Amino acid sequence: MPVITNIADLKRLHASRVPRMFYDYAESGSWTEQTFRENTSDFDQIRLRQRVAVDMTGRSTATQMIGQDVAMPVALAPVGLTGMQHADGEIKAARAAEAFGVPYTLSTMSINSIEDVAEATTKPFWFQLYTMKDTDYVSRLIQRAKDAKCSALVITLDLQILGQRHKDLKNGLSAPPKLTVKTLANLATKWSWGIEMLRAQRREFGNIVGHVDGISDASSLGAWTAEQFDPSLDWDKIAKLKEEWGGKVILKGILDAEDAKMALKVGADAIIVSNHGGRQLDGALSSIRALPSILEAVGDQVEVHLDSGIRSGQDVLKAVAMGAKGTYIGRAYIYGLGAMGQPGVTEALNVIHKELDTTMALCGEVNVADLGRQNLLVPQDFEGRWQD
C-alpha cells in the first residue's frame, strides 16, 4: 500500500485509478467554480491558537450527532454515483464508516440500493432524499428507508434543479458509462477499475432502476434530474415529508439565516450548512463563512452541522470550534474510495481523525466538546461586509 500522509495523496491516486468521467464528476463545481474554490480557501483564512503546557493525555474526539454516538464529529456525506468510483462503492463506504464509528449517508442517486447497503451493514445508516414529482415513488423510497431501519432522513433542499458542471456535459457523464471512442480510450488505461466493475453487484442507479416506470433515460443524471426532481418543493411539502418519515430529520443545503429559521419552524432535528460542495449556486458564500450568521439565528435551538470544503482534521476542528456540532466529508472520502476501495475510505477517516486529534492537542484541548472560538483566530471581516 502506498504511504498516505494526507487527503491530497488519496486524491492523486483517485485521479490515476478512476475513469476521467467519474473523477471529473467528483472534482468539479458549477459554472466558474468560485464557490467550490472558496469552500476550501476560506478554511485557510482561519488560523489556530497554539497553546502549550496543557496536560494533553486522555484526549477524546468522541461526541454525538443527533443523539447518536460518533467516534468523531464527522459523517460521510451523501454522494451520487459512489458505486461508479469503485465497484460496490456505497457498500464499501458504509462498511468503512460503520467500522470507524461514524454515520454513513446513502444518496438517493446511489448505485447500490438502500436494501444492498442494509444487507451489507449491521448498524443503521442515514438516507438522503431528493424530492421528486412522483410522490408515490417518494413515499415508496421513504418506506424502503424505514424498512432498512435508517436512523435519519437527510432531505436535500438545494437541488430542485441541477447546477451546471461543464465537464459532466463534455464527458457525457452516465452510469454505466456509454462506450464512445473517448470513454473506451480512457477506460483502457483504468483496467483494474474495469475488472472490479465487471464483478460489481450493480452498475445502474439502484434506488431507481426497477422501482419507477416510464423513465426515458435513467443512466443520465442530468436527464433524470430535469425530468423527475420536484421544482415546486416548498416548506409545506418539507413539513409533510417530515411527518411521513416520523423519525429524525436533517435538512441539508441551508446557507441563509432566514432559511435556517424556516427549518427550525418545520421541526428539523439538525440542519446542514452546505452549498453542496460548490456544485449548485456558483457565487454563493462558502459554508464556513455562512456558518456564523446561521448559528447566531438558530444555533441554540437546533443542531447545526456543516459540510463543503473539508479536506483535513484541521478543517473539522475549525468548523466545530466555530460552533458546528458535526461535519460531513464528501470528496475527502470519495478520493479514498477511488484510490483503494474500502481501505481507502478507512484511510481517509484515519487521516482526518489523526489530524483532528493532534491539532486539538496542540491547541491545548483534550475533548472535542470543549473546542470553541477560544481556539481560533478568525479574520475580523470573515463573514464579509455586504450591503443591505
Ligand X SMILES: Cc1cc2nc3c(=O)[nH]c(=O)nc-3n(C[C@H](O)[C@H](O)[C@H](O)COP(=O)(O)O)c2cc1C
Size of the site for ligand X (CB under 6 A): 24
From the list 147, 7, 126, the residue with the least C-alpha distance to 78 is 126
Tell me whether the omega of the peptide bond preceding residue 103 falls within 30 degrees of 0, making it cis: no
Q: Is 121 in the site for ligand X (CB under 6 A)?
A: no
From the list 124, 126, 84, the residue with the least C-alpha distance to 105 is 126
Which range touches ligand X (CB under 6 A), out of 4-12, 134-142, 207-215, 326-334? Answer: 326-334
Tell me how far, at minimum, the Cβ of 58 lies from ligand X, in Å: 30
Q: Is 111 in the site for ligand X (CB under 6 A)?
A: no
Is 330 annotated in some ligand binding site? yes
* For ligand X, the closer CB: 38 or 365: 38
Is 219 annotated in some ligand binding site? no
Q: Is 205 in the site for ligand X (CB under 6 A)?
A: no
CA distance 282 to 7: 24
Q: Compute the CA torsion angle 250, 274, 73, 339 (nearest 10 deg).
A: 110
By CB under 6 A, the residues from 24 to 83 that bind ligand X are 25-26, 39, 77-80
By CB under 6 A, the residues from 13 to 32 that bind ligand X are 25-26
Tell me how far, at minimum, the Cβ of 287 lies from ligand X, in Å: 8
Q: What angle do CA 157, 39, 337 make, to 5 degrees?
A: 80
From the list 349, 286, 366, 359, the residue with the least C-alpha distance to 57 is 366
CA distance 296 to 141: 35
CA distance 348 to 97: 10
276 is catalytic: yes
Is 79 annotated in some ligand binding site? yes
| CB contact at 8 A, 287 and 39 | yes
Q: Is 298 in the site for ligand X (CB under 6 A)?
A: no
DSSP 94-149: HHHHHHHT--BEE-TT-SS-HHHHHHH-SS--EEEE--BS-HHHHHHHHHHHHHTT
| The one catalytic residue among 14, 86, 211, 276 | 276
Is 107 annotated in some ligand binding site? yes
Which range touches ligand X (CB under 6 A), out of 111-119, 199-207, 305-313, 347-355? Answer: 305-313
* For ligand X, the closer CB: 297 or 329: 329
* For ligand X, the closer CB: 30 or 128: 128
Residues tagged active-site: 276
Q: Which residues are annotated as a binding site for glyoxylate?
A: 25, 165, 276, 279
Residues that bind ligand X (CB under 6 A): 25-26, 39, 77-80, 107, 109, 128, 156, 252, 274, 276-277, 279, 307-310, 329-332
